[in-house]
Amino acid sequence: MSAILYEQARIRLSGDRALLVEYGEGIDPAVNEKVRTMTAFLKQNLPDGVEAVVPGYRSLSILYDPLATDPATLAKILHALEADIRAGSPAEAKIVPIPVCYGGEFGPDIGVVAEHTGLREQEIIVLHSSVDYRIYMIGFTPGFCYLGGLERRLWTPRRKTPRANLPAGSVGLAESQTGVYPVDSPGGWQIIGRTPLRLFAPHRESPFLYEAGDRIRFVPVDKLEFDRLYKTEWS
C-alpha cells in the first residue's frame, strides 16, 4: 500500500485521557515529517491541560488531564495549528553520530547478512554507514529507535529464533529496518555490530541522545576506539 497524507488530521479518542491524532497511512517520510512538525510545535507551547505529546510513525498521542481540558477543545487547537503550520517550521533535524564496531565478537550475524545478500562484509559496513537514518519513532525498550532508509541490498529476514539477551548497544537488521538496542534485552534482529555509547542513561539530564525526527549516522570504528569510548561511557 502506498503512503497517504491526510488533508486534515483524523482525531480519535484513545481511552479517557488521550487522543490519537492520525496524519496519514503507511511508513513514509512525508507523513512522518507532518507528525514531527506538529509534535515540535505542540511541545513549544503545550496547550492547557496537555501532559505529554508522543510521536509515532504516522500519528501522535496527546495525553491530557480531563479535569483541565476536553477532546473538543484540543481538536479545535490541533486543527487551527495544522491550518497555520506554514507560518513557521521546527528546527532542522539533528544528526546524531553513533560509532559502531562491526563484525567479529560485536557482530555475530554479519556473516548471515553476507550470505543472504551476496555482499562482502566490508560492503555491508560501507552501505550500512553511508545513510543518515530518520528516526520514525521510539519504543519497545527505552531509547529503541525505529529507523527508515536502510539500503535495499541489505534487507535480511530477522532470526528464526530470537536471542534471550542482547548486550546494550547491539546494532541489528530486520527486513527493511535497522536499529540499536539501548539496553540489555531479548531480540530477534541480525546483529552486525555494537556501539560503545550509552544510549539510555536515566541519570543524565537528557537520558536519550536523540528523539523522534532526528537522524542517526553510523560511524565505523575499530576495536581499539570501541574500547576507549566504552570505558569513557560506562565507567
Q: Percent of the chain at pLDDT above 70? A: 97
pTM for the predicted model, two decimal places: 0.79
Sorted by where each starts, the structural domains of the chain and their CATH numbers stand as 4-87 (3.30.1360.40), 95-234 (2.40.100.10)
Listed as own residue / partner, the contacts of 197-205 with beta carbons closer than 8 Å and 24 or more positions apart are 197/98, 197/99, 197/169, 197/229, 197/233, 198/168, 198/233, 198/234, 199/98, 199/143, 199/168, 199/169, 200/142, 200/143, 200/168
pLDDT tens digits, 39-57: 888 988 899 999 999 988 8
Confidence check: pLDDT of 89 > 80: no
Lowest mean pLDDT among 81-85, 108-112, 173-177: 81-85
